[in-house]
Amino acid sequence: MDLISRIGVQARPEVEMLLPNSFPQHAFWPFQTSNPASSLCPAAAHIPVRLPHPVDLHIIRHGETVANVEKLVTGARDVPLTERGRIQAKQAGIKLSPHYDFAFSSKLKRSKETLRLALEAGRVRVTKCEEDPRLNERGLGELELRPSRSLPEYAAGNLAYSPPGGESYLAVTEKVLSFLTDLFELVQRTGARRILISSHMGPMRIMEGILKEETNPVTVLNRSFRNGDVIKYDWSRFAWPKFQMGKE
């Protein structure tokens, strides 16, 4: 069941929607239009799509975990927050807006608990909360729970590299684009103007690269977010990730 179906919203009849599709047509350009005369297609994927109105999109990186303290690679492992991580989540809450139309976390406990603690600490009202696995941290295979170290492939902006048993950043890009496509449709259907996300370093790097329309994969893969950081974006258009062009 897709995000729109899970949330159970209906289309607003006054909105002429661009209906995204979850990647059956093209690996990295998810849009499809209800208007057959439209030029919006993979061939014109470099053309940004305007949202019906600007959206305040706020993203929290989860608080500190046991693995972070021990300087271990976490990846997709489901590790808990430390006490300091819970404090960071609460501190993030006071930086949030008083109300969001929708809030999302990953399926991992550190993301879910960070969102819960932030909302409670900030006394933030949310119309609808949802978990989505596309916001999960990338799997890092045999690197997980081993000492953290720099990898030359990431330093060079290699989107195709994946550690043995792990995921590449191209795979993360596809998941994040799929999620943002559903979010785009959600805004079209509901008129949502403020959305909150609790996620992880990997997906946040890709999401920022897309939202800021970054062109250099080195910049994208070397972006860093601290535990408990709240990053705020004014999302007004949606474009093919420029940093990914030529990297398939």
Residues with a catalytic annotation lie at 62, 137
For 156, which DSSP code? T
Write the single-letter amino acid at 5. S
Burial 120-156 (b: 16+ CB within 10 A, else e): ebbebebebbebbebbbbbbbeebbeeeeeeeebbee
Residue length of the chain = 248
Tokens (6 digits) for 82:
């430390």
Q: Nearest to residue 50, comparing CAs of 100, 16, 11?
A: 16
